[in-house]
Amino acid sequence: MSLPAVPADFKEDFKAASKFSEPLEAKVEPVGQYFLAHATRILQDRTWSEYEQIKEKKAREEASKQKKDDGDEFEDVTDPELLEHDPRDWKKCDLYAVLGLNKFRSRATRDQIDRAYRKQVLQFHPDKQGEKGGFQDGFFKIIQKAYEVLTDATKRRQFDSVDKAAEVPAPSKKSKYDFFEAWGPVFEAEGRFSVRQPVPKLGNTESSKQDVEEFYKFWNNFDSWRSFEFLDEDVPDDTSNRDHKRYIEKKNHSARRKRKTDDNKRLDALVKRAHSEDPRIKKFKQLEKEEKARKKWEREAGARQAAAEAKEKAEKEAAEKAKKEAEQKQKREKNKKSKEAKKSAKKKSKRTIRAAVKDTKYFGAEANASVIDSDVETLLSSLEFEPLVELGDNVKAAGDDAEKIKSLLLAAAKATGKSYDYFK
């Protein structure tokens, strides 16, 4: 199927002609992955392209996960020493390495062991190796031994017990190390011997006190299935020398017991050392100390508060006092000022009145000037502040009107009730 050429008269790039016909409305059957995809699109209100992108991303993630999962699962055995190992001495081999299960070791599942065994058999079966020389024959025997041991639960435990390659040594005391980085793998490795599963993790600096205590409690009461039968000296199975057989058995038995006790001691020392080095334990102790101090501080809180309150009260009182004093002072000053103003007003009024009396030529009775003056003086000295100011204002308002001033002064003099010579 092919597309035609652009006609000569079509110049633009795109031309919409019409909409498509009215759609049908129909029910679809709610089955199948495409329907579910459709439903997801509608429910999440996504466009087709958005949905495609999401799906692609998911598929990619899935693919990469898949890859990780079944990436080269079992390694190939290339170590010549292992390949040429004497099959009679198979106990000295690393049986996991023989099957290419180095990565998994005690975590290898039965299924993995089966598959690894099959893979090895395909490669190392004498039929396959015939032309390549003889040593693989021996290695094939070891493979079979390894399979036999690892597929028998009891034997596998015995081998795991003495699996040197799975051991993680405790960090050297002399070296500098991060506690968690160094000890985490140690405890994880030791944990494989635990009868009780799951084994608590060492955790990190953030672990709660309870977790840490649980952890050490677990390790202090560690219940181990580790046993040392695998290292037994082979018991001769001929019946020729019973005594020798019993002797070997006895020796094995005591060796096993000794190893077990040693192992327990070792573990005990290990846990003690870790406990003493654990920064969290130190931290918790420190915290405890701080807590105590804080509690003490809290206990004394009552007294401290009372003192603080008293101090506060005193300060408050002092402040109030100072405020009051300031106010009084202000008031006093204000009074003083008003007094001065009064004084000047009084003076001014007196001056006005005196001047008015003088200006009006003593109401035309200049002859009596001294009498009037003395009377005016009497009047002015006997008048209170307000009537004086009033009188002053009135006199000023009266201007040159001698009679009026005279009458005003007369009225004022009368009101004072003093004896006058002129204002009678």
Partner 1 sequence: MAAVGIAFGNTTTSIAYVREDGKLEVIADPDGDRFIASALSYLGQDEYHGSQAIGQLIRNAENTIVNFRDFIGVPFEKIDTTYSQHSAKPINVDGKVGYEINGNKITVEEVTKRHLKKIAKDAEDYLGEKIEDVVLSVPENFTEEQKALLINLAKQSGLNIRQTISEPSAALLSHLTSEKELNNDKVYVVADFGGIRSDVSVIAVRGGIFTLLSSAHTYELGGNKLDLALMDFVAKDFKSKYKVDALGTKKSWAKLNSASIISKKTLSNVESAPISVDALAEGFDYNNTINRMRFEVVGRQVFSKMAAFIEDAIKKAGLETLDIDSVLLAGGSSNVPKIARNLEFIFPESTKIIAPSLDSKLPNPNELNSRGAALQAYLISTFDDDVIKQSLSADVVETKQLSKPIGLKGADGEFITVLPRNTVYPIKRVISLEASADDVFIELYEGERTIKETVEEPEEESEDEDEEDDDSEDEPDIIREVVYKPSKLLAQLALRGAGKGAKVEVVVNIRKEGKIQLAARSGKVASKGVIEA
Cβ proximity to partner 1, 42 vs 195, nearer residue = 42
Residue 42 interacts with partner 1 (CB under 8 A): yes or no: yes
User: Would you call 194 helix, strand, or coil by DSSP?
Assistant: strand
Q: Which of 9, 48, 69, 367 binds partner 1 (CB under 8 A)?
A: 48
221 binds partner 1 (CB under 8 A): no
Q: How many alpha carbons fall within 13 Å on the CB side of residue 302?
A: 1
Q: Peptide bond preceding 387: is omega within 30 degrees of 0, i.e. cis?
A: no
Q: Mark 231-269 as b/e (b = at least 16 C-beta within 10 Å).
A: ebeeeeeeeeeeeeeeebeeebeeebeebeeebeeebee
Q: Does 78 bind partner 1 (CB under 8 A)?
A: no
Query: Taking CB under 8 A as the rule, does residue 239 contact partner 1?
Result: no
48 or 205: whose CB is closer to partner 1? Answer: 48
- Least distance from partner 1 to the Cβ atom of residue 59, Å: 15
Q: Minimum distance between the CB of residue 45 and partner 1, rounded to whole angstroms?
A: 9
- 20 or 71: CB nearest partner 1: 20
Taking the C-alpha atoms of residue 402 and residue 398, their distance in angstroms, rounded to an integer, is 8
For partner 1, the binding residue among 1, 122, 153, 195 (CB under 8 A) is 1
Toward partner 1, which CB reaches closer, 55 or 361? 55
Instruction: Please report, as a single letter, which amino acid is at residue 110.
Output: R
* Residue 70 found at the interface with partner 1 (CB under 8 A): no
Q: Quick one: tokens of 323?
A: 């405020």
Closer CB to partner 1, 41 or 259, in the complex:
41
Q: Residue 180: what are its φ and ψ, rounded to 5°?
A: -75, -40
Question: Based on CB atoms, which residue is closest to partner 1, 26 or 303?
Answer: 26
203 neighbors 215 (Cβ within 8 angstroms):
yes
- Contact criterion met (CB below 8 Å) for 394 and 404: no
Q: Please work out, in degrees rounded to the nearest 5, the angle formed at the alpha carbon of residue 157 by the alpha carbons of 154 and 159.
A: 110
Query: In one letter, which amino acid is 315?
Result: E
Q: Is 109 in the site for partner 1 (CB under 8 A)?
A: no
Binding range to partner 1, per CB under 8 A, among 5-13, 173-181, 187-195, 333-341 = 5-13
319 binds partner 1 (CB under 8 A): no
Residues 11-40 that bind partner 1 (CB under 8 A): 12-40
Looking at the Cβ atoms of 3 and 195, the one nearer to partner 1 is 3
**Half-sphere CA count of 115, side-chain side, radius 13 A:** 11
Question: Does residue 63 touch partner 1 according to CB under 8 A?
Answer: no
β partners of residue 224? 194
Q: Which 279-308 residues touch partner 1, going by CB under 8 A?
A: none
Using CB under 8 A as the criterion, which residues of the chain lie in contact with partner 1 when the complex forms?
1-7, 10, 12-43, 47-49, 52
